[in-house]
Chain A
C-alpha cells in the first residue's frame, strides 16, 4: 500500500476521476463532483481504488457527504 500523504491521495483521486471521464484541466480541490459529471457509480469505483491503494474503506454514509474533489481527499487522509 502507498504512503498516505495529501499529495499522494490527490494524485490517486485525480487519476481516478480522469479515468472515469472527467477532464483533468477542470479538476481542482474545490471542483464540485456534479460539474465533473461524477455520480454514485463513480464514487463506488473510487471506494474500491482507495481501498486497494490505502486500505481505506469508504462507507455509503461517508460518500453521501462528499461534494467536492477536496472532500474525497480529506476523507481518505482522515481515515488512513
Chain B
C-alpha cells in the first residue's frame, strides 16, 4: 500500500495564527487561555482574506481557509510554485467539525425572530461541510471533499479518512483537518449544562484539581500526499502519517467507558496499521481534556494499549495551552505532534502540578522535554481524540 506523507501544516489557534506559533509557543509553555476561554484573539479575518471571502464564510470556515493556505504554501503548491502537483480530480479535502456554522445559524434565527429576512447566505455559511467546500473551491480540489462529524474526534477522523482515501487510490493528495468556532453563549450554556466546562477556567489535564474543559476555537489542516508523488517532485517531507484507528464505545452519549477498552482498541488498531509495536512509540499527544472522566479513562486506555511502555514515555496534552477546540482539536494536535516529532521535543502539559488519583503516567508537567528516540529510526508518536458519542480516533505519526 502507498505510504502517505505530510508535506505541509497550517493552524489557527489560541496561541496565534500559524503552525509555528502553535508549536513554538506551545513548546515554550505559553498559554492561550484568557478568562476561562481560549479565543483566537490574534486572528483578524481581513489580514488573511478578502472582504468578500470574509463575509462569505462563517468564522469556522475562515479558520480552515487560513490554515489550509498556510499548509499549501509550505507544501509548495502555491500558485507561484506552479499550483497542485496532480490533476485537480486527484486532489480533495476532508475537514471535520464538531458543530459547524453556529454563529451563522443563531444570528440568522435572531434575524427571523426580530421580523427580518433570513439571507441567502444562511445555509451555505452554517452547513458543517462549508469548510471542506470552501477549501476545495479555493485550491481547485475536484476529488473527494466532505465533512466528518464526530464531535471532538472529528479532526482526527477527517485526517484518518483522508489517509484511507489516498491509500485506496481515490486521490493522490488531500487537504485534511478540522475547524471550529463555537465560543458562543449557547454552546457555553449547553456544555455547562453537561457539567463539562471548567468552573475554575483552568485547563489542567491529568491534574487532581481538573474540573472540566476550557473551550477554544481554531483550525488545523495537513497536506497529505502519496509518498511517491511527494518524492518525485522533491517535496520537503515533514513526516509520515503511518496509521489510523477508529472505534466506538457504544456505551453512553457523553461519558467514556471508564475502562478505556475501546479507546485502547483504537490505539492498537492505529499501531497495527502503522506496523509499530507498542514499545516503539516515543511520545503520546493525548486527548487530555481536563475533565475528570476523560483523563482517567484515557490513562486506563493508554495502559491497556501500550502496557508497561506507557510509563516510560512522555504523554502531554496540547489542551493545557489552548483549551479544547472540539472538532478542530485532533487536527491542531496532529499539527503540534508532527512538529514535536520533527524537533524531538515533547511539549509540556502546563498547569499540571498534582497528579490525579491513579493517574501515574509521565504527563510532562510544566516544561517541554527531549524525547528519547532509539538510534536508527525516526521519532514516532500517536495522537488520540475521543468525542461525545463514544467516538475514538487515533493517528500514528512519524517524523521524516
A, B in one complex = yes
Give B53-68 interface residues, CB cut-off 8 Å to A: 53, 55-56
Q: Within 8 Å of chain B (Cβ to Cβ): is A45?
A: yes
Q: List B contacts of A52 (CB < 8 A).
A: 117
Partner of B52, one of A20, A44, A45: A20
Contact indicator B124/A41 (Cβ below 8 Å): yes
Q: Which residues of chain A come closer than 8 Å to B119, judged between CB atoms?
A: 44-45, 48
Across the interface, name the chain A residue whose C-beta is closest to B51.
A21
Query: A37 within 8 Å of B by Cβ?
Result: yes
Contact A20 B120 (CB under 8 A): no
Contact A48 B55 (CB under 8 A): no
A45: min CB distance to chain B, Å: 6
A–B complex contacts, Cβ < 8 Å, 20 sampled: A19-B55, A20-B52, A20-B55, A21-B50, A21-B51, A21-B52, A21-B53, A21-B55, A21-B56, A22-B52, A37-B52, A41-B120, A41-B121, A44-B119, A44-B120, A45-B119, A45-B121, A48-B117, A48-B120, A52-B117
- Please provide the chain B residues from 119 to 135 with a CB less than 8 Å away from any CB of chain A in the complex: 119-121, 124
9 interchain residue pairs of minimum CB distance: A21-B52, A44-B120, A21-B51, A48-B117, A41-B120, A45-B120, A45-B119, A41-B121, A37-B52
Looking at the assembled complex, report how far the CB atom of A64 sits from the nearest CB atom of chain B, in whole angstroms: 15
The residue of chain A having its C-beta at the shortest distance from the C-beta of B121 within the complex is A41
Instruction: List residues of chain A with CB within 8 A of the CB of B51.
Output: 21
List 17 additional contacts besides A22-B52, A41-B120; criterion CB under 8 Å.
A19-B55, A20-B55, A21-B52, A21-B55, A21-B56, A37-B52, A41-B56, A41-B121, A41-B124, A44-B119, A45-B119, A45-B120, A45-B121, A48-B117, A48-B119, A48-B120, A52-B117
Cα-based distance from A19 to B119 in the complex (angstroms): 14
Q: In whole angstroms, what is the CA distance A22 to B55 when docked?
A: 12
- B-contacting residues, A22-78, CB 8 Å: 22, 37, 41, 44-45, 48, 52
A44 / chain B contacts, CB cutoff of 8 Å:
119-120
Q: How far is the CB of B92 from chain A (nearest CB, A)?
A: 23
- Size bin of chain A's contact surface: 10 to 19
Chain B positions within 8 Å of A19 at CB level: 55
Which A residues are in CB contact (< 8 Å) with B52?
20-22, 37
* Chain B, residue nearest A48 (CB): B117
Please give the distance in Å from B357's CB to the nearest CB on chain A.
55
By beta carbon, the residue of chain A nearest B120 is A44
Q: Report the Cα distance A48→B120, complex, angstroms.
A: 9
What B residues does A37 contact at CB under 8 A?
A: 52
Rounded to whole angstroms, the CA-CA distance of A41 and B119 in the bound complex is 9
CB distance from A80 to the nearest CB of B (A): 19
Contact partners of B121 in chain A: CB under 8 A: 41, 45
* Min C-beta distance of A47 to chain B, whole Å: 8
With A and B bound together, what is the CA distance between A21 and B51 in angstroms?
A: 5
Contacts of B53 in A (CB 8 A): 21
Task: Give the chain B neighbours of A48 by CB distance below 8 A.
Answer: 117, 119-120
Q: How far is the CB of A40 from chain B (nearest CB, A)?
A: 9
Separation of A21 and B45 alpha carbons in the complex (Å): 14
Residues in chain B near residue A45, CB distance under 8 A: 119-121
Q: Which residues of A contact B124 (CB under 8 A)?
A: 41
Per the bound structure, the CA–CA distance linking A20 and B119 in Å amounts to: 13
Per the bound structure, the CA–CA distance linking A42 and B133 in Å amounts to 18
Q: Which residue of B lies closest to A18 (CB)?
A: B51
In the complex, A21→B124 CA distance in Å? 17
Chain B 267-306 near chain A by CB (<8 Å), digits 1 or 0: 0000000000000000000000000000000000000000
Question: Closest CB of chain A to B12's CB: distance in Å?
Answer: 21
Q: Report A-chain residues with C-beta under 8 Å of the C-beta of B55.
A: 19-21
CA distance A48 to B50 in the complex (A): 23
- B56 — which chain A residues lie within 8 A by C-beta? 21, 41
Digit string of B231-263 for contact with A (CB within 8 Å is 1, else 0)? 000000000000000000000000000000000
State A74–B36 Cα separation when bound (angstroms).
54
Interface residues of B in 100-142 (CB under 8 A from A): 117, 119-121, 124
Question: A63 vs B50: C-alpha distance in the bound complex, in angstroms?
Answer: 25
The residues of B that contact A20 with a CB separation of less than 8 Å are 52, 55
Bitwise interface map of B from 211 to 226 toward A, beta carbon under 8 Å scored 1, else 0: 0000000000000000
